[in-house]
Every structure is written in C-alpha cells, then in structure tokens.
Amino acid sequence: MLKKTGLADDVILVRSKADNGADLSGAQTPDRAKAYLKELKDSSLYRRAPRAIQQTLRDMTMAADVTGNLRVKLSLTTLRQRRSFEALVLQSANVLFSTTNSGHLERLIDDGALFDWTIVEEAAKATGSELLAPQLLSMRAPPDRGS
C-alpha cells in the first residue's frame, strides 16, 4: 500500500520478530540495518570518511552477514556496534510491527523511545501484562470513557 501511494521511500518499516504469515520480507531489524549499512558503504559519504570510520563500517557490514554460532568469532566491539546500529534503526522506525512480548519492546522502553500511536491487533485477546509494553511506548492514551 505504501508503494502505491508513493510513500515507500519515506517510511522506515521494521518488524521486530519474524512472522511466517506476514509479507514483510527484509523488514526485520537486522535486515533493515544490513540494507542501510550497504547503502552507506556504497555512498560518497563513505568514500570521504576517515579510514577508521570506513573500517568500522566494513566490520559492521561483515558482521551483519554473520549468523548463528559464527557470531562468537566476531570481536566484542563489532558485536556492540552492530547491536547499537540495529537499535538506532529500530528507534528510527516510522512503523514498527511487533508482538506484545517482543524483547525489542523492552529495549525501546529502556531507551526511552515513544511512538505517536500504538495499535494492538486483537487487543481483546491480550492479557493486561501483554499490553503494558505497547502502552508504555505510546504517547497517546485512549480517552477516559468513565467520566
């Protein structure tokens, strides 16, 4: 729908956890971070950057391709940089799809992130504790119907 309206390039869409039923391929946080690192590495900004920054970007780009047990071979600094960059991508999202119990939501709360709106699909099926994290991330509260 975003592509049809011409807004696809203006929206950072992130999915915090895989969902086999969703057509959001490439939207998971590590995938988005990897795409942004590749864009940055192919940019003129990268070519003008000091060598130390270029090396850091090369390391982070390489780390983005490493999965599973091979991560233990990466340096602690590179792993931290990769996680920090993924957190930045997550915080920069215009639209975030997540389950209510995702660890990413806890990270966003710890970082003080706020979204304009939080929409919980099938909220009637959720328990109170499942709704805490999404509500803590939302700047807007539903109107008080009791008064």
Q: What is the pLDDT of residues 20-30, one digit of tens each?
A: 545 555 677 78
For residue 71, being part of any structural domain is answered with yes
For residue 90, being part of any structural domain is answered with yes
For residue 147, being part of any structural domain is answered with no
Q: What is the pTM of this model?
A: 0.67
Torsion of CA 28, 33, 35, 41, to 10 degrees: -170
Question: What's the total number of domains in the chain?
Answer: 1
For residue 54, being part of any structural domain is answered with yes
Angle between helices 76-92 and 103-110 in degrees, nearest 10: 90
For residue 135, being part of any structural domain is answered with no
Tell which wins on pLDDT, 104 or 54: 54
- Helix, strand, coil percent content, the chain, rounded in steps of 5: 55, 5, 35
Q: What is the pLDDT of residues 93-116, one digit of tens each?
A: 777 778 888 877 888 888 888 888
- CB distance 19 to 76 below 8 Å: no
For residue 103, being part of any structural domain is answered with no
Q: Coil, strand or helix: which one is 97?
A: strand
For residue 136, being part of any structural domain is answered with no
For residue 21, being part of any structural domain is answered with yes
Domain interval for residue 12: 2-97
d(CA 39, CA 120): 32
CA distances from 110 to 55, 62, 106 (A): 30, 28, 6
